Amino acid sequence: MSTIIQEAKFTCALGAQQSVLGIPGAVPVIHAGPGCSQRQFSYLSVGSGYQGEGYTGGGQIPCTNSSQSEVVFGGEKKLAKLLDATYKVMKGDLYVVLSGCTAGIVGDDVKQVTYDHSTKEHPTVGVDTSGFRGNNYKGHNIVIEGIIDQLLEEAQPNVRKGLVNVFSVVPFQDPYWRGDLEEIKRILEGLGLEVNILFGYGSKGVSEWYDIPNAELNIVLSPWVGLGAAKLCERRFGTPYLHNPVLPVGLKDTSAFLRKVAETLSLDREKTEDFIKSEERRYKQYFVSMGDVLSDYAPYLPYDLYLIDDSAYGLGTARFCTNELGMIPQAFFDIDVPPATAKELIQASLEEIDEAWKDKLIDEPDNAIIRKAVEQRIAIRQTKSLIFGSSWDKDLAERTDNILIFHSAPITDNVILNKTYVGYNGGLNLMQDIYSGVFNRKKVSNLTHGETERERNTYGTAKTGGSN
């Protein structure tokens, strides 16, 4: 990319160190200059909902802190010494060496260094995540494909019926990744499947990665992230994959996704429908309870929809808000810089939702440009709007008097633990937050339809039997 980006909502490829931290028991080892690793952590953990260090994260991450000496003479020997020291100090089930720009420019062969050091006790893989390779979405792909390629180099598949691997959201880059993956695993297990979710607290850790070749099916829940890993598994182990480019959000899409998985794996239809009906029944009960809010406060509800999001989350949210909440599409600013091969799929998936989404997809990683464009559109239409964005968009929502849902990094206004906006539970959470936003704007309260603000100031508590 040849232009300067203001307020980019991603980091460089080295940010994939956070993907490694998302694997329980895995240890990232950084071969880069001083400060590189800390910047990734500051943005993708602290700046993405204060997600914490985790095991061996933050200031604990081993790093070569490459200097001028390594630029002149190469840094492979220093990396080798760092690995030996790391094995002694840090207990891990897997060590992943990630190289930064310095190593990439001078040509250090991190893969060869890790190959020479990897043992059964200390399995180690190496990947080139130099910043100029792309953003951390690309870095995430490089890491997961590198682990599969090197860790499972001699693996032979022993297919276990009902076992699936899931390639989906990017840890830490998706602020809600922990809750999202738990919900994805929950609904798939509801079909009777065994799920290698690979990342997060619902994962058994590195043992799931060793188990990858034994899956009956790989599931990709993204337009492009993780797709290369699924294709690699197909070539290496003969594992078929199901590519669902849209993250399922809410009732309609989640049920459709589960039926697609069940059909692909020829699961028992009756058991599948029993689980789906049970989930839908619960979902509809909560949905109906929103009726009073939707009817009583209809004049204050947002109808125009603006998405500032990555392709996976944006598509799922666009479908939910359009098909289940009846919102009017205005623009989807895709911020993850997908490869050219994925752009047509993203556009087609968006237009498949509704004709109103035609020509509403804009590839733009510069959030300063996005905010200006959204504000101009809102000024022209002068309608109540819902904006999906980040803490950078807070002033935009306040200036235009509209609702903002924190959906993408950076998020510095909320602490995020296990919240999700995916699946059945994610749809309920999203409705809850959207319509709570009506009251959070402080221009609507429970007095709105009972008495006006002027009446309350005039009569005080008289209506309830009090006195001025």
The predicted-structure confidence for 198-216, as pLDDT tens digits, reads as follows 999 999 999 999 999 999 9
Nearest CA-CA partner of 337 in 66, 134, 48: 134
- Whether the pLDDT of residue 455 is over 90: the answer is no
**CA 452 to CA 459: how far, in whole Å?**
11
Residue 2 pLDDT: 59
Q: 214 with 157: CB under 8 angstroms?
A: yes
Q: What is the average per-residue pLDDT within 96-102?
A: 95
**Does the predicted TM-score (pTM) go above 0.85?**
yes
Express each pLDDT in 313-335 by its tens digit.
999 999 999 999 999 999 999 99
Q: 403 - beta bridge partners?
A: 386
Give Cα separations from 349 to 68, 314, 316, 362 (angstroms): 48, 11, 10, 14
Q: What residues contact residue 359 under an 8 Å CB cut-off, 6+ apart? A: none
**CA 450 to CA 59: how far, in whole Å?**
54
Express each pLDDT in 239-277 by its tens digit.
999 999 999 999 999 999 999 999 999 999 999 999 999
* 149 CB-contact burial (10 Å; exposed 0-12 / middle 13-18 / buried 19+): middle
Report how far Cα 187 is from the mean position of its chain's Cα atoms. 18
Q: pLDDT band at residue 468, thresholds of 50, 70 and 90?
A: very low
- Whether the pLDDT of residue 71 is over 80: the answer is no
Which of 24-38, 117-131, 258-272, 288-302 shows the lowest mean pLDDT across its residues? 288-302
Domains 13-151 and 298-440 share a fold: yes
**CA 371 to CA 389: how far, in whole Å?**
10
Q: 315 - beta bridge partners?
A: none
Ordered DSSP codes for 387-446 = EEE-GGGHHHHHHHT-EEEE-SS-B-S---SS---SHHHHHHHHHHHHHHHHHHTSS--T
When the pLDDT of each residue in the chain is averaged and rounded to a whole number, the result is 92
Write out the two tokens for 135.
């953003």
Backbone angles phi, psi at 362, to 5 degrees: -130, 120
Residue 206 pLDDT: 98
Amino acid, res. 442: K
Q: pLDDT band at residue 443, thresholds of 50, 70 and 90?
A: low
Q: What is the average per-residue pLDDT within 349-367?
A: 95
For residue 121, the 8-state DSSP code is S
Domain 13-151, CATH class in plain words: alpha beta
CATH number given to 163-285: 3.40.50.1980
Residue 82 pLDDT: 96
Q: What is the average per-residue pLDDT within 338-365?
A: 94
Residue 464 pLDDT: 36
Domain boundaries, the chain: 13-151, 163-285, 298-440
**CA 299 to CA 303: how far, in whole Å?**
10
Burial code (b: 16+ CB inside 10 Å, e: under 16) for 448-464 equals beeeeeeeeeeeeeeee
Residue 3 pLDDT: 75
Fold annotation for 298-440: Rossmann fold (3.40.50)
